[in-house]
Amino acid sequence: MSLVTLLPFIVLIGAMFLMTRSAKKKQQAAAQMRNDMQPGTGVRTIGGMYATVKEIQEDTVLLEIAPGVHAVYAKNSIGAVLDDAEYNRIVHGDDEDLKVDGALVPDDASSLTAGEAADKDDDTAVAKIDLGKKAEGDAEPKDAEAKDAKADGESDAK
C-alpha cells in the first residue's frame, strides 16, 4: 500500500481524535465545576431552574428551590455554578452592580412617537402613503376600450 492510499484514513482518524479530545475536555471541566460546589452556592440546572445548594452527596445534590422548599437532584443535572453576585442579580433582581450610562429604552414604542405627533399639526400628524392602488371609479377608460376592441375578434397579430 502506498502513502496516498492511507492518507484519507489518517486524516479521518486525526479528525476523530481532535473531536473526542475537545468533548472530553468539556466533560472534565463540567465534572470539576460540579465537584467544586459548596453548600450555599447558587446554581442553574440544565432545565433552567435557579436554586441554592444545601447538601452535597456522592451522586445527588439537595437544592433549595424556594425558601423552605427542597428537592433532590442528580449532580449531572447541574448546568452551571454561579458566583454570588450573578445569582443575586438573576434571582433577587439586585441591579446595584449594573450601572447604565445612557438613557434606558422604554417598554413600549408609543412613548417614542408621542412627542413627535403632538408637535405636528393635526392635518399632518398622519401622512397617507400612496401605494399606487386606485379606487374603482378612478380606473382608466383606455383599458376598457382596448378590451372591447379585441372582443370583436380582431387581434394585434399581423
Closest C-alpha to 80, from 36, 114, 126, 122: 36
Q: Which amino acid is at 133?
A: K
pLDDT value of position 22? 87
pTM for this structure?
0.49
Q: Evaluate whether 108 touches 114 at the Cβ level (below 8 Å).
A: no
- Render 37-88 in DSSP notation, one character per residue: --TT-EEEETTS-EEEEEEE-SSEEEEEEETTEEEEEEGGGEEEEEPHHHHH
pLDDT value of position 143? 55
The mean pLDDT values, 10 residues at a time, for the chain of 158 residues are 84 90 88 86 92 92 93 92 87 65 64 56 60 65 55 58
In the block, cell 445612557 appears at 102
Closest C-alpha to 90, from 80, 103, 104: 80
